[in-house]
A and B are shown apart, each in its own frame.
Chain A
Amino acid sequence: MAPTSKSFSSSSSSRKSTLTSSSSRSTSSSTSKSKSASSAPTRKMSNMSSFQPTLNFKPSPSPSTSTSTSTRKDEEDRKLMPPPPPGTKPKPLVSPPKSTNGKGKSREVIVVDDDEDEDQGLGSNGLTNDKAQMWTDLYAPTTEAELAPGKARIAKVKNWLHESLFGYPFDVPPPPGNVNRDKLRKYKRILFLSGPAGVGKTTTMRLLCQSLGVEIMEWGESVEERSLGGGIDRESSISKFSSFISRHSYPSLSMSSQHTSSQSSATKPRLILLTSLPNLSHIPTREAFHSSLLTFCQTFTSLSCPMVIIHSDAGSGGRAEESWMERDRGGREGSLEVLGREVRDGPWCQEIDFLPLAPTFLNKALLRVMQIAIPKAVDRPSQATVQLIALSSNGDLRSAINSLQLVCGGRKDASKGKKRKSRGDDEEEDGPKKRGSGKGSRGGKGAKLDVSKDLRAVLDAVTRKEQSLNLFHALGKVFYNKRLDDPNMDDEDEEVLERIRKLPPEKPLPDHLQEFSRRKSLVQIESFIPTIPIDASSFALWIHQSFLNYCNEIEEVSAGLDELCSADVMRTDDDIWQSSTQAISYALHLTVRGTLMSLPSPVPRRSQKVVKPQFFESFRLERDNTSALDHVAGYITRKGVAAGNAFADGGPSDVVGVWGGTVNKRVLAGELVPMMVKIQGLSGHPLLPPSAQSLCLPPYSTFSFRSNTELTVKDEPDAEDEYEATAAGDDGLGNVASQSQEWDEDMQDKDKEEDWLMEDDIDDWD
C-alpha cells in the first residue's frame, strides 16, 4: 500500500528530474561547487515565486486500481512532455523493488527538495555506476536503529504518530474501550517537523509509518501543467489543496473499498504527508492554506486521519553576506508562517524540531552506507576521509552521503592506476596538515584531522561547502582582537603566526596619525568574513551587545559604536528601493574591521560573557506595544465618537468629552497614554482598556533591564531572531496586519456593547 502511494508522487518528480538533468549536465562541472545546503531552499523558493507552479497532488487510489491509473496517467504525461534529452533514460515509473528494504524509501529524496535533482542528474550522467542510483536512495535506513537523528527525537515522533493514530502512547498497553482514544486523538492533528535539509526528517517519518503500518497520503507538486498552456485544468493550487485535504481526511468510501479485493485497506490507518508546501509568500495563498489547515484541525471525527508537515528550513551556515531582502524571498518561513497563528497556538499542533546532525552521528551513518555499498574493505576510503566528509557537511546527512558516493566513484575510476598510491599517502603522510582556507584554527575541528593534502584537495573540490564558524567562535575572534606579539600567544597556531610574520611590515604612520597604528591582527579578514555564520546585520547586533565588556575606556566604546553606526547607515538593504548586496558586504567589513580597530590591544580578559542581543527581546516588546497602542487608539477614538454622538443626540453636555477623531500615534505614546495612566491611577476611574497595561514603563531602577541569555559554544543562533531583525529593518509595514486585527476586534466589541453603530450606517456616505 505504502509503496504504491509513493509511486504517484514519484511520477511527477521523476519527470522533473528528467527535465532538469539536461541542464544539470551542462553545469555538471560546477555543480559540486554550487551545492551548498543553505542555497538549496533559497533556490527552491525563488523558483516557486517566479513562476508558481501549479501544485498537483495525486490522490492515492486503492491498490488494485492504482497501477493501471498511474500508468495511464503517466502515458498522458509523457505525450505532453518534451522528449527527454538523449542519453538520459526515462526512469521506470515504479522501480522494481530491489529489496524489501530499499523500496519503501527509494523516493523520499526526490520529493524533499530540488537539491536532489542535480545529484540525480549527475548520477545519471554515468559518473558513478550503471544503475545511476544515489546511495541516499539505495542504502536508506531500514530499521529504526539505523536512523541518524537522535533517539529521543525519533521516539517523540513515534509517540506522536501512535497517539494520533491509535489514541494512546506507543509504549503503553492499549486502554480498554474506544471512547477515550478519540479524546487524545482529537488534539493530535498536525505534526510539524522542521529542521535543516538532509537531517532525515522525511526518512524518519516514512520509516516509522512503515513500521506502524500506516498508509501515507502525499501531496506533491507538478511543474508542467502550467507551461503547457490552455486546455489544462486551471483550478488554483490552493483550492486543489483544500479539496485534497477534505478528500483525504476521511477513509475512502465503501464504494472504492469494494475494489480493494483482499486487502482490508479500510482498517489501515492513514496519514496525510505534506512535504512541498504551496507558495506561502503569496498572501492570499497563505491565508487560504492557513484556513484549510484550521478547518482540518477543527473537523475531527474518529475516522479522520492526522497530518504531518515536513518543512526544511534553511540552515544557518555560510550566509554571512546574505541580504534580508533575499531572505524574504527565500523561504524564511518559521512555523508561524507555515501554520498560521491559530493553528500553531491551538491545541492541535505539535512541533518537533530536528537539529543538524552531529559529526559523530554522521560518521556512523556514513560508515554504515559505505559498508553496504562497498563490500570490499580495501576499496573503501580511509576513516579520516569519512570523518572529514562528516565534518564538512554542516550536519547535512544527505549531502554527506552524496559526497561520499562521489569520492568513492572517483576512486573507482582512478583505481586502475594510482589508487594504491593515494591510499598509501593517506596513512603515511601524517602530521598536522592545516587547510589554507578560512577554516578557523580554533573552531573548525577539521583542522585537526590527519588527511593528506592531495585528498584534501580532492575533497575540497568534491564536497566544497562553505565552512562556517560557530557563532561563538566568530564573535570570539573579533572580541579577543588578537594581534601579533600579544602576551600569552603560546596556544596560537604557529603556521598562521608564521604566515602573518612574513607579511611585509607596514610603513610607520606619520605622527599625527599615531593613534591609528596597531600591531598586525591575527584575524585574517578576507578569510574570516565568509565564515561568519549569520547575516551582516545580526552579526552587528551581537557585536554591539557584548563588545563593551571588552573595552577599558569609554573612548574605545565610542569609537567602536561610531563604526557600528556607519555600518548601519551604509547597510541600506532594508530600503526596498536601494537594496544593494555590495553595501551589505561593505557594512560587514566595516563592522568587523571597525570593532577590531577600536578594541584595546591586548583585550582585557576578565571572563566576559557573550550574551544574546537585547535588541530581539526589545523589538518583540516594541511590536507588541505598538499593537497595544493601536488598540488603545481604537478605543479612544471609539469612545470619543460615541460620546460625540451622544452629545449630538442631546445627551448631557457637561460630562461628555466632545472629541471625535483619530489621535496621532506619537502624541498617544508620548503624551496621552502616560498621562492617562497617571490620572487613571490617581482617580481610580478607568480611562484605558486593559490592553494598555503593557504600555506603562516599569519604575526606574539601577538594575539591568533583563537577564540575558549567555551564548555558549553549542548554541545556534535563533532563526526566529534573525527574522525579527529582518522585520525590524522594515518600514513598519509588518505591523499593518496586526494593527488591522486590533481594529477588527474593536469593531466587534463595539457592536456588542454599543448599539449605535448599525449595519446600514456604514454605507450611507454616498
Chain B
Amino acid sequence: MSLWVDKYRPRSLDELHYHPELSSRLRSLAASGDFPHILFYGPSGAGKKTRIMCTLRELYGPGVEKLRIDQRVFVTPSNRKLDVNVVQSNYHIELTPSDVGMYDRVVIQDILKEIAQTQQVDLNAKQRFKVVIINEADALTRDAQAALRRTMEKYMNNMRLILCANSTSKIIAPIRSRCLLVRVAAPSDDEMTKVLQHVAKKERFSLPSPVTKSILSTSQGNLRKALLVFEAMKMQKPDLSGDIEVAKPDWETYCSKIADSIIQEQSAQRLLDVRGKIYELLSHCIPPTVVLKTISERIVDKVDDALKPQIVHWAAYYELRMRMGSKKIFHLEAFIAKVMTVYKQFNMIGYTEDYE
C-alpha cells in the first residue's frame, strides 16, 4: 500500500493539474535541446519536485525512473569522512548537500567535478548532458554556493543543474543570474479542489464540499499536506459525512493546546507546564521556529485585536534571537513569558503600552 500522495503523483508534464503555462514552458525547454540550469522555487508542497521529475522524464524518457541509492564518501580537508546518500539514475543524480552542514562545499565540488568530467555513456540517451538535482539549495552555505557558481560555467557541456529551494532570497545573486528561475506557486483553492476531486474519483467515491473546505483551510496551499489529511480523514470515516475532525498532525494540536493554556492562565507555574510540552515537541524534531510560529498564530487568533500586533512583534523578535542563539528553549520560553506578561497586563488595565 502506498500513500495517495505518492500513488497519484503526476509522472509526466501532461498529467499535472495546475500551472499549465509552466508545464508547457518546461516542455518546450526540454524539447529545445538547449536546456538551461534551472532554479525551482516555491512554498513547500506546491509541487516543485514533482515538476522536476516530470521535466526529467520529458528530457530522458522513462529510463530516468530507474533509480538506485548510492552512498558516497567524501573526505574533508581536515580528514573528516562524510557520508552522503544520493539517489540517481543513469541520467541524473539527486543529492541534499545541506545534510552535511558546513562541509557541503566539499560535497558539491567533488560530486559536480566527478559528474562533469564524465561524458554521457549511454549512446541512446536523448541528451548529451546529465542533470544534477540539488535539494534545499537555499540551505547551502555561501562557500558551497560559490563553488557551485564556478562549476556551473565550467562544466556547462556535460551537466545541467536543477536547484530546488523554498525561496531565492538565500541564494547568492551570481547563481540566480545563471539559472532560469521557475516559480512554482502554491495551488489556489480551486486547483486544490480539482486535485482532491481527481483523487476521489480515482478512488471511486465522491467528495462532499464541507470536507474539501476543511481540508483546504488546514493545508493552506500545501498540496502534500492536503492529500495526507484527506487520506487520514477518509480512513477515519469512510463515508466522509457529518462532522469529521480534521486529521491534523499531532504537533499542531499540541501547539494549539499550548496556546490555549497560555491564554488561560499567566503564571510561573503555568509556564513550567508549558515548558514540558515545548521540550516534548523539540525532542520530537519539530523545528523550534515552526513551534514558535504555530503557537503565535494560534494566540493571535484568540486575542483582542489591540494585542495582535504586539504578539506578532514579539514572535519576530524572539525568532531572530533564537536564530542567533543556541539554546532554543530559552527563546521559546522567553516569548511565551512575554506573551503572558503582555496578555496579563492587558487584561488588568484594559489597554497596553506601546511596545518598544
State the A residues within 8 Å of B (CB): 283-284, 537, 540-541, 544, 548-549, 551-558, 561-562, 564-566, 568-569, 571, 574, 576, 614-615, 617-619, 621-622, 625-626, 629, 634, 637-638, 640-641, 643-645, 647-649, 654-662, 664-667, 669-672, 674-679, 682-683, 685, 687, 695-698, 700, 702-706, 728-729, 731-733, 736, 739-740, 743-744, 747, 750, 757, 761-762, 764-766
Residues of B within 8 A of A666 (CB): 44, 287, 290
Distance of A622 Cα from B6 Cα, bound (Å): 28
Q: How far is the CB of A75 from chain B (nearest CB, A)?
A: 38
| Chain B residue nearest in CB terms to A552 | B268
Chain A residues lying within 8 Å of B272, measured Cβ to Cβ, are: 548-549, 704
Q: Known contacts being A669-B284, A669-B285, is A283 close to B79, with CB within 8 Å? A: yes
Closest to B253 in A: A700
* Residues in chain B near residue A544, CB distance under 8 A: 327, 329-330, 333
Determine if B144 is an interface residue (Cβ-Cβ < 8 Å).
Answer: no
Does B257 interact with chain A (Cβ within 8 Å)? yes
Q: List the B side residues contacting A761 at CB < 8 Å.
A: 68
**Chain B residues packing against A (C-beta within 8 Å):** 1-3, 5-7, 9, 11, 44-45, 49, 53, 62-63, 65-71, 79-83, 85, 87-88, 90, 93-96, 99-103, 114-115, 118, 121, 133, 135-136, 222, 224-225, 228-229, 231-232, 235-236, 247, 249-251, 253-254, 257, 266-268, 271-273, 275-277, 279-287, 290, 318, 321, 324-327, 329-331, 333-334, 337-338, 340-341, 344
Min CB distance A210 to B, Å, is 43
- How close is A566's CB to chain B, nearest CB, in angstroms? 8
Q: Is the CB of A657 within 8 A of B9?
A: yes
Majority secondary structure, B binding face: helix
Cα of A541 to Cα of B279 in the assembled complex, Å: 13
With contact pairs A548-B268, A660-B65 given, residues A675 and B285 touching in the complex (Cβ less than 8 Å)? no
Cβ contact within 8 Å between B70 and A704: no
**B9 and A659 form a contact (CB under 8 A):** yes
CA gap between A552 and B267 in the complex, in Å: 8
Give the contacting residue for A658; candidates B6, B70, B133, B222; CB below 8 A: B6
How far, in whole Å, are A549 and B267 apart by their CA atoms in the complex? 10
Q: State whether A697 touches B1 (Cβ < 8 A).
A: no
A670 cross-chain contacts in B, Cβ below 8 A: 249, 251, 286-287, 290
CB pair A540–B327 under 8 Å, yes or no, is yes
In the complex, the answer to whether B268 meets A551 with C-beta atoms within 8 Å is yes
Interface pair B85/A568, CB less than 8 Å apart:
no
A677 to B228, CA, bound (A): 11
Given contacts A669-B284, A679-B235, A732-B101, contact A637 B69 (CB under 8 A): yes
Please determine whether B340 and A564 come into contact, CB atoms closer than 8 angstroms.
Answer: no
Check if A705 sits within 8 Å of B65, measured CB to CB.
Answer: no
- Given contacts A548-B272, A558-B338, A641-B68, 13 further A-B pairs with CB under 8 A are A564-B330, A614-B275, A617-B279, A622-B282, A648-B63, A659-B9, A661-B87, A666-B44, A666-B290, A670-B286, A697-B281, A744-B71, A766-B121
Residues on the A chain within 8 Å of B334, using CB:
558, 561-562, 564-565
* Inter-subunit contact B327/A728 (CB<8 Å): yes
Q: Shortest distance in angstroms between A750's beta carbon and chain B's nearest beta carbon?
A: 8
A558-B337, A670-B290, A765-B90 given as contacts; is B331 within 8 A of A565 (CB)? yes
**Structural contact, B341 and A554, CB atoms closer than 8 A:** yes
What are 11 pairs between A and B in contact, CB < 8 Å? A565-B325, A565-B330, A644-B67, A658-B7, A661-B67, A675-B229, A675-B231, A729-B327, A731-B101, A733-B100, A739-B99
List the 5 shortest-distance A-B pairs measured between CB atoms, nearest first. A657-B6, A705-B276, A740-B83, A657-B2, A674-B249
Q: In the complex the two chains form, is A671's CB within 8 Å of B71's CB?
A: no
A662-B96 in contact given A548-B268, A670-B290 (Cβ < 8 Å): yes
Identify which of B253, B283, B327 gathers the most chain A CB atoms within 10 Å of its CB.
Answer: B327
Please report whether the interface of chain A is mostly helix, strand, loop or mixed according to DSSP.
helix
Q: Are A615 and B329 in touch, CB under 8 angstroms?
A: yes
How far apart sit A561 and B272, CA to CA, in the bound complex (Å)? Answer: 13
Shortest distance from the beta carbon of A618 to any chain B beta carbon, whole Å? 4
Docked-complex contact B71 and A743, CB < 8 angstroms: yes
Contacts of A634 in B (CB 8 A): 85
Residues of chain B contacted by A541 (CB below 8 angstroms): 327
* Distance (whole angstroms) from the CB of A231 to the closest CB of chain B: 27
- Which of A645, A728, A765 touches B326 (beta carbons < 8 Å)? A728
- The answer to whether A700 touches B257, judged by C-beta atoms less than 8 angstroms apart, is yes
Q: Are A765 and B88 in contact (CB under 8 A)?
A: yes
Which residues of the other chain, B, contact A662 by a CB distance below 8 angstroms? Answer: 85, 87, 94-96, 135
Chain A residues lying within 8 Å of B266, measured Cβ to Cβ, are: 554
**Distance (whole angstroms) from the CB of B172 to the closest CB of chain A:** 18
Q: Is the CB–CB distance between A621 and B283 below 8 Å?
A: yes
Q: Which B residues are CB-close (under 8 A) to A626?
A: 285
A641 & B87 in contact (Cβ 8 Å cutoff): yes
A549 touches B257 (CB 8 A): no
Q: Give Cα A710–Cα B265 distance, bound, in whole angstroms.
A: 26
Alpha-carbon distance A625/B79, docked complex (angstroms): 28
How many Å from the CB of A398 to the closest CB on chain B?
Answer: 36
Q: Are A657 and B87 in contact (CB under 8 A)?
A: no
Nearest A residue (CB) for B219 = A671
> CA of A586 to CA of B280 in the docked complex: distance in angstroms?
31
Most chain B CB atoms below 10 A, which of A576, A669, A761: A669
Looking at the assembled complex, report how far the CB atom of A611 sits from the nearest CB atom of chain B, in whole angstroms. Answer: 10
What residues of B have a CB within 8 angstroms of the CB of A672 in the complex?
A: 224, 228
Which residue of chain B has its CB nearest to the CB of A647? B65
Q: Decide: B68 and A569 in contact? CB cutoff 8 A.
A: no
A687 and B1 contacting across the interface, CB-CB below 8 Å: yes
**Bound-complex Cα distance A634 to B99 (A):** 13
**Distance to closest chain A CB from B95 (angstroms):** 8
A675, B344: Cβ atoms under 8 Å? Answer: no
Q: Which residues of B contact A764 (CB under 8 A)?
A: 90
Query: Which single residue of chain A is at the shortest CB-CB distance from B229?
Result: A675
A674 B82 Cβ-Cβ under 8 A: no
Interface contact B71-A747, CB-CB below 8 Å? yes
* Residue of B with least CB distance to A706: B276
Report the separation of the CA atoms of residues A679 and B325 in the bound assembly, to the nearest whole angstrom. 37
